[in-house]
Amino acid sequence: AQKITQTQPGMFVQEKEAVTLDCTYDTSDPSYGLFWYKQPSSGEMIFLIYQGSYDQQNATEGRYSLNFQKARKSANLVISASQLGDSAMYFCAMREGGKTSYDKVIFGPGTSLSVIP
Amino acid sequence: NAGVMQNPRHLVRRRGQEARLRCSPMKGHSHVYWYRQLPEEGLKFMVYLQKENIIDESGMPKERFSAEFPKEGPSILRIQQVVRGDSAAYFCASSSGLAGGSYEQYFGPGTRLTVT
């Protein structure tokens, strides 16, 4: 079964508008972490934001925020005020485990975001 | 440059040759992870290593692939007798491994392997 699901293979957003990229996950471990990475056309993987399963508040980093709904097992990424440079692939990922917090990270299939001027 | 270094950035090999991919983790990081990204797909975990130890190789193909992280020097991902299906981007990531340390894995720029 898929551990990380990203149902939107491609998304378009108008410049300066906000966009939400969906991510649902599947785990039975009570301790886990969720990540979002950005991969521009140049290919590098850029860390955006992290949410721990026990974090009380939704994570925010500048224009990025994570809409964490634990009961629904969703961790959607919200990008506010989209910029042309936001056009890229976006990957949701999960790390399972608490004590062994250095375990492998499982990635979703990604969502391609295109920002329209 | 304090980031994760990978070389070469691009590697072309003919079928049957060997490919060696190198990864130098961030300074102070002792945990290394290798991931493979096939075209149009997300990253797939391959192997997790600490210095001189393979911790988890559950994502490594059983044959032709091996990885090491020696006491001195970079981590090496070796692919023997490459086939066209090995063409992919191979990413290395590192983390600090300190108790209570960063959860974050820092990624290198990747090595793009093309098998002709």
Tens of pLDDT, residue by residue over A63-110, are 999 999 999 999 999 999 999 999 999 999 998 765 454 567 889 999
**CB atoms B42 and A108 under 8 Å:** yes
CB contact, 8 Å: A50 with chain B? yes
A98 in contact with B, Cβ within 8 Å = no
Residues in Cβ contact with A34 at an 8 Å cutoff, skipping those fewer than 6 apart? A23, A25, A50, A51, A52, A53, A66, A68, A75, A92, A93, A94, A95
A101 interfacial to chain B (CB closer than 8 Å) = yes
pLDDT for A102: 55
- CB of A107 within 8 Å of a chain B CB? The answer is yes
- Mean pLDDT (chain B, rounded): 90
What is the model's pLDDT at position B41?
Answer: 82
Regions in chain B scoring below 50 on pLDDT: 1, 100-102
Amino acid B30: pLDDT: 87
First-to-final CA distance of chain B: 32
- Give the gyration radius of chain A's Cα atoms: 14
Residue of B43, B56, B60 best to disrupt the A interface, most CBs of A under 10 A: B43
Contact B109 A95 (CB under 8 A): no
Scanning A54-83 for CB atoms below 8 A from B yields none
Residues of chain A with Cβ-Cβ distance to B93 below 8 Å are: 45, 105
Q: How many percent of chain B have pLDDT more than 90?
A: 69
- pLDDT value of position B28: 85
pLDDT in tens, A51-75: 988 888 999 999 999 999 999 999 9
Q: Which of B53, B96, B103, B111 to substitute to test the interface with A, most A CBs within 10 Å?
A: B103
Give the pLDDT confidence score for residue A62 in this predicted structure: 96
Give chain A positions within 8 Å (CB) of B113. Answer: none
Q: B80 by DSSP, 3-state: which?
A: coil
